[in-house]
Amino acid sequence: MKSALILGGTQFVGKRLVQLLLDEGVEVTIATRGMTVDPFGNQVSRLIINRENVETLKNAFKDKKWDVVYDQTCYSSQEALDALEALTGKVQKYIFTSSQAVYDFGANHSEEGFNPLDFEPIVKTRKDYIGYVGYQEAKRAAEAILFQSADIPVTAVRFPIIIGEDDYTNRLKFHVEHIKEGKQIFIEDPNFRYSFIDSGEAASFLYSIAKSDYQGPINPGSEEDISLNELIGLIEDHLGTKAKVSTDGDPSPYNLPGSWSVNTGLVQSLGYTFTSLESLLKNLIAYYSKL
């Protein structure tokens, strides 16, 4: 891989991915709305696009080619169609940042839990997908369009919850701060189980999978999953104080209608390894507790 186009690349995992590619000597182009300042100076090329206007993609990508495209900003079936149209003949591989949200709620989902080749997508725009259900359909439909229509290899990386010191969502930080400060937390069901991945390892996986011959959906992340009850226990052990969990507390940002975890057997069989979840969480709990 000598050149890469990143649709996105200015926040969180995308920013880590750009830096990793640059460190590896890859020629990087980032395509965004141009609204967010990035730290890469003259190390990258920049294109201005609007994912809701296909003509901006066609104009930006005209007379250009890359080895791989990383699509980190696709949130509708229409945007997947537009990207394929605008990039026809311009890239050799498509790496799509998907989500474990393509699966129904539950634990230990393997890749076979959602087959994009069997899904009939309805073409919609970003504004037509509302809330979590809309997000789920958008990722399912985007995967379906890419796998059913692309004439190049496609990989859909179904990330679990991404965490790290640079996590702008502050969802794990919420739990550490509330317990540290004695604030009450409301947890819908403490026994629901969740999967996680470190943000740096997420970026490294995106880089590595693009260099491999693998195509299809894949679940990266720490091998283990964890319940909210167990997560609270880790925080309590580190802080030496008990959490105040009650129906009157601030809702946990991890409250979902069911478990949200994946099986990582496939990615492990391909030789990829990730930090154990307990170690990852303990390190981050220690980091947040010092802030």
Side chain identity, residue 229:
N
pLDDT at 248: 93
Q: How is residue 275 written in tokens?
A: 């930090």
- Of 58, 61, 53, 74, which is closest to residue 7 (Cα–Cα)? 74
The rounded distance, in Å, linking the Cα atoms of 253 and 262 is: 19
Whole-structure pTM value: 0.97
Which CATH code fits 168-195+224-258+276-289?
Answer: 3.90.25.10
- Of 137, 157, 269, 146, which is closest to residue 219 (Cα–Cα)? 157
- Of 93, 90, 30, 80, which is closest to residue 54 (Cα–Cα)? 80
Q: How is residue 104 written in tokens?
A: 């129904």
Domain(s) labelled CATH 3.90.25.10 in the chain stretch across 168-195+224-258+276-289
The rounded distance, in Å, linking the Cα atoms of 250 and 174 is: 10
SS3 284: helix
Side chain identity, residue 236:
E
What beta strand segments (E) does 77-127 contain?
94-99, 106-109
- Summarize the chain as % helix, strand, coil (round to 5): 40, 20, 40
The rounded distance, in Å, linking the Cα atoms of 156 and 259 is: 21
Encode the chain (291 residues) as per-residue pLDDT tens digits. Answer: 999 999 999 999 999 999 999 999 999 999 999 999 999 999 999 999 999 999 999 999 999 999 999 999 999 999 999 999 999 999 999 999 999 999 999 999 999 999 999 999 999 999 999 999 999 999 999 999 999 999 999 999 999 999 999 999 999 999 999 999 999 999 999 999 999 999 999 999 999 999 999 999 999 999 999 999 999 999 999 999 999 999 999 999 999 999 999 999 999 999 999 999 999 999 999 999 999
Conformational region of residue 227, where left means phi above 0, alpha means psi within -120 to 50, and beta covers everything else? beta
Domain(s) labelled CATH 3.40.50.720 in the chain stretch across 3-160+197-218
3-160+197-218 maps to CATH 3.40.50.300? no
